[in-house]
Amino acid sequence: MRIFHYTWESFLWDDVMNNNLSSPDNVLNGPDCFGIYYVTGSHFVYGQETMLYIGKAQLQRFGYRLSQHDDFIVTNIPRISRIYVGKLLERDQANMENWGDVIHLTENLFINSHVPAMNAMSVKWLLDEETYGDILVCNWGDIGFILPEISGYRFSSKYWNQQNYSEKTLTE
């Protein structure tokens, strides 16, 4: 079993966006600012305080990555309220490629397990058993809307058996 830990903190969206996100002095550009983030806000269908989007800061820090999100400004999102950043703990500083892969895998697992309103990637299929079946993600701190633990056992094809689930609905 591969166990990955993220520690979470939240920020008001306006406070984050009003700061210079590209500045090396920004709190979201520290040496430990790699991992997963998600934004919450209003959605026309899903209502207030909805998880809107999950993304990753894999090869660049959170601040630099968020500065590239012009798509949040030009879309018809009524209001973005908060951003949650989850920093990957216990990173091997000597092997960025390895923990970059961890961030990529866990982003897919987060999207598949939480199905945010604005992510289309990774929600249309079961995740591959060989890749995701032995992953457990533990979330600590100010986690907001996410699950405290996310298991690849639950959200991969590891235990899915189509023969166990009939095509009939409960009323048939």
| pLDDT tens, position by position, 67-95 | 887 666 656 677 888 999 999 987 555 45
Place of tokens 């991969």: 156
CA distance 55 to 63: 12
Say how many C-beta atoms besides its own lie within 10 A of residue 12's C-beta: 12
Instruction: Name the percent of the chain lying above pLDDT 70.
Output: 77
CA distance 25 to 169: 56
CA distance 28 to 61: 7
* DSSP symbol at 72: H
Strand partners, 9: 85
Specify the pTM.
Answer: 0.84
Mean pLDDT to the nearest integer, 161-165: 60
